[in-house]
């Protein structure tokens, strides 16, 4: 089993739709969680951190389920510009020495 697993997609949804995808992790001791966005042939950019209580940033909502060991990302009212690959990142702890694992990413394509 991979340490961090994501459905590779692609998710192909119409503009304005709501889309959600999950990321599962195997290390129950993991402490920090993030979602990054990566456009084609570009570097990953931080989308949002994921907090235990869940957090929202505009149209984006991230949630953490420690019992089932997954994090989720919900995008409401999707825009064409949301088309990208979304990477799940899991850290074993809070320090910079903590092991960081990147998921392989979920491709999202928004159609007009």
Partner 1 sequence: DGGITQSPKYLFRKEGQNVTLSCEQNLNHDAMYWYRQDPGQGLRLIYYSQIVNDFQKGDIAEGYSVSREKKESFPLTVTSAQKNPTAFYLCASSSASGGQETQYFGPGTRLLVL
Residue of 12, 14, 18, 46 interacting with partner 1 (CB under 8 A): 46
Cα dihedral sign for 95, 90, 88, 55? Answer: negative
Asked if 87 is part of the footprint of partner 1 (rule: CB under 8 A), the reply reads: yes
* Minimum CB distance to partner 1 smaller for 5 or for 15: 5
Residue of 22, 32, 72, 109 interacting with partner 1 (CB under 8 A): 32
Asked if 66 is part of the footprint of partner 1 (rule: CB under 8 A), the reply reads: no
Asked if 96 is part of the footprint of partner 1 (rule: CB under 8 A), the reply reads: yes
CB atoms within 10 A of CB 89: 21
- Residue 50 structure tokens: 């994921």
- Residue 18 structure tokens: 């709501």
Residue of 1, 67, 95, 112 interacting with partner 1 (CB under 8 A): 95
Please calculate the CA angle 2-56-6 and round it to the nearest 5 degrees.
15
Asked if 44 is part of the footprint of partner 1 (rule: CB under 8 A), the reply reads: yes
Residues of this chain that interact with partner 1 (CB under 8 A) are: 4, 8, 32, 34, 41-46, 49, 51, 87, 94-97, 100-105
């Amino acid at each position: 089993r991979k340490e961090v697993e994501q459905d590779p997609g692609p998710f192909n949804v119409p503009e304005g739709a709501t889309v959600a995808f999950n990321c599962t992790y195997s290390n129950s001791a993991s402490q920090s969680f993030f979602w990054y966005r990566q456009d084609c042939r570009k570097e990953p950019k931080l989308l949002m951190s994921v907090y235990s209580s869940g957090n929202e940033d505009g149209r984006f909502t991230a949630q953490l389920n420690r019992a089932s060991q997954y994090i989720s990302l919900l995008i409401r009212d999707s825009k064409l510009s949301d088309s990208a690959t979304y990477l799940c990142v899991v850290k074993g702890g809070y320090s910079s020495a903590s092991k960081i694992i990147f998921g392989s990413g979920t491709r999202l394509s928004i159609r007009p």
